[in-house]
Amino acid sequence: MKILNITIKDEDGEVRLDRWVKRNYPQFTQGMIQKLCRTGQIRVDKKRIQASTHLNTGNVVRLPLVEKDVLSSKKNHDMDSHFSKKVKSWIIYEDSDLFVINKPSGIAVQGGSNVRFHIDGMLEALRENSNYRPCLVHRLDKDTSGILLIARHPAAAAKLTAAFRGRAVKKIYWAITTGRPVSSSGRVTLPLLKVERPGESYVVVSEENKNAQKAVTEYMVKDYAARKFAWVELYPLTGRMHQLRVHCSAMNCPILGDRKYNQVNGSLEGFPELLHLHARAIIIPHPQGGYLEVEVELSSHMKETFKRLGFDMPSGNCVKVNKNKKYN
């Protein structure tokens, strides 16, 4: 049996011993960890501890390694090298704490039924020489293109996740809608309820069901083509499933190419049969302080539609890291 003595780093973040072990050595079950702690085989700074003990930077964990090491145990044998290269090509910014990709439409962020390739499954390829597998800190729908943030290590993931949960993040989406909102700007405050059917999940507006969740979206019309199409900037103040798509549909201007919530779908006009919803920009506290501001260029099908409708083509990728800035 090989005995490891591992020093806890800042990048590990504040974490319980059992969670740290399972994160880095997934071959250990909760029962195994508790037994090894009871028998004194797992120790922290040479002292007996419980599985629930919180670790601090500088602690030394004694761990008996009973199986293969973390790198081989975490290896994704189903990883497709071509797809992982594509994921790398989507990176528009990276530093020691995180990286940002411009996700194309049609690529799933996480696995599910009938999903072979997804971003989460390819993150092992982005580990490089780090001891930590990169991890997702938020999500995008499969058919939504645009900004996706990924943390390089647990400490950064904890800070970024806390920012999303604490509503300290400003997210800006662009959509092309079929129809134009009655008002040029406004706020939608319709609660949403997730509905499950065999092989399908979708969301409906429900102001009466007590299980419906509060959902708030602000919007501004940036341009329009007669009253048939509009370029709408959307600011989700909550993060519900399909929130922007359902709120646009509730305003009688569903998003172009939305097969789930747009009955007309816009494809009858000869436009690309893809969802015209793009995570355009984000402003978020950087793990090292200050703020990270990112804008990403439109997906190819939205560029085509912008050109056809005569909308001004926006600039491409833009990243700013201002570690002294305070954002309100």
Catalytic residues: 141
- DSSP tag of 311: P
DSSP strands (E only) in the chain: 2-7, 15-16, 43-44, 47-48, 54-55, 60-65, 91-94, 98-103, 135-136, 145-151, 170-178, 185-188, 192-197, 200-205, 217-225, 229-236, 277-285, 291-295, 318-322
CA–CA gap between residue 175 and residue 231 (Å, rounded): 6
CA–CA gap between residue 183 and residue 288 (Å, rounded): 40
β-strand partners of 178 = 229
CA angle 200, 274, 228 (to 5 degrees): 110
CA distances from 83 to 90, 100, 136, 250 (A): 11, 17, 17, 37
Among 57, 54, 2, CA closest to 27: 2
Structure token pair of residue 8: 């806890």
| Chain length of the chain | 328
Among 107, 96, 185, CA closest to 144: 107
CA–CA gap between residue 121 and residue 97 (Å, rounded): 20
Structure token pair of residue 222: 């940036």
Structure token pair of residue 200: 């399908």
β-strand partners of 322 = 291
CA–CA gap between residue 215 and residue 238 (Å, rounded): 6
